[in-house]
Amino acid sequence: MKALRILSLAVFAMAAWSQTPPEQQWTPALKDEVRGKEGEVCLACRKPITAADKVYLVEGQRVPVHRANCDDVLRADPTRYLASLKPRGGLFGGETAPPGTVSDAWLLLGLYVILGLCFAAVCAHRALDQGHSPYLWFFVGLLLNAPGYLVLLARPPGPRNRLAAEAPAGLAKIPVTFAPRPCPMCGASNHPSAQECLECGAPLRPAVNSEVSRLRSPLN
């Protein structure tokens, strides 16, 4: 089960890193205009401007440009000249990368894995109740999903093995302790490892080894 959980996590991780759409073209807007300052350099011709020239505000950054031909050149191809001003990351208010999208193939693969895990558990439980191998039908449900479960429902019950005999029917929890056994003389309930009845004192044949005898064993 641990390996299956790792597999499902790997599938969703691969889906998260699947194909992403191409980055949209950045189209700056040259609308907001402020007063220019002496010493600023024109972005188009790389020469100083005067206070009479233009300065645009593009996403909080100053874009100085001469009012004559440089302004027309900048407006003709703003992306070319303003590319150096484009924020490259999420720091200091920059733009973040566009979120990725999950392709249909990865989505279907993820749904297949989830359904496989669900039907694997259902098939294993059903096989255990019907006397079939739960390990075999676990992988059948994992690979075939609903068709595998339908095939299991169509099969006749098989011989109940030791594992199926110890497991309770339905969705009840499998006990971790041994069930008590009745005394053949008085019918009182006793632990399966008891050597004599607690009520009448009749000798009993232990069905399992007690924890005390295991601790006293020379193998421990």
Domains contained in the chain, number: 3
Same domain? 110 vs 5: yes
Same domain? 52 vs 115: no
Same domain? 39 vs 83: yes
Query: What range defines the domain where residue 76 resides?
Result: 33-93
Domain membership flag for residue 120: yes
Domain membership flag for residue 128: yes
Domain membership flag for residue 28: no
pLDDT of residue 19: 46
Query: Rounded mean pLDDT of the chain?
Result: 76
pLDDT of residue 174: 58
Q: What is the pTM of this model?
A: 0.38
* pLDDT tens, position by position, 3-56: 445 555 555 555 555 444 444 455 566 777 888 788 888 888 888 888 888 888
* pLDDT tens, position by position, 159-186: 765 555 555 566 566 555 677 889 988 9
| 8-24 as b/e: b if 16+ CB within 10 A | eeebeeebeeeeeeeee
Same domain? 126 vs 186: no
Domain membership flag for residue 152: yes
Q: What are phi and psi of 211, to 5 degrees?
A: -65, -30
Same domain? 113 vs 139: yes
pLDDT of residue 163: 55
- Count of positions (residues) in the chain: 220
How far, in whole angstroms, is CA 56 from its chain's centroid? Answer: 47
Mean pLDDT of the region 130-144: 90
Element (H, E) at 189: strand 189-190
What are the structure tokens assigned to 100, written together?
């990725």
Contact yes or no for 39/53 (Cβ under 8 A)? no
Same domain? 108 vs 168: yes
What are the structure tokens assigned to 97, written together?
């990368």
| Separation in Å, CA 61 to CA 36, 55, 90, 158, 169 | 13, 10, 16, 78, 72
pLDDT of residue 148: 93
* pLDDT tens, position by position, 97-135: 455 566 888 889 999 999 999 999 999 988 888 888 889
Same domain? 4 vs 106: yes
Same domain? 211 vs 166: no
Same domain? 50 vs 82: yes
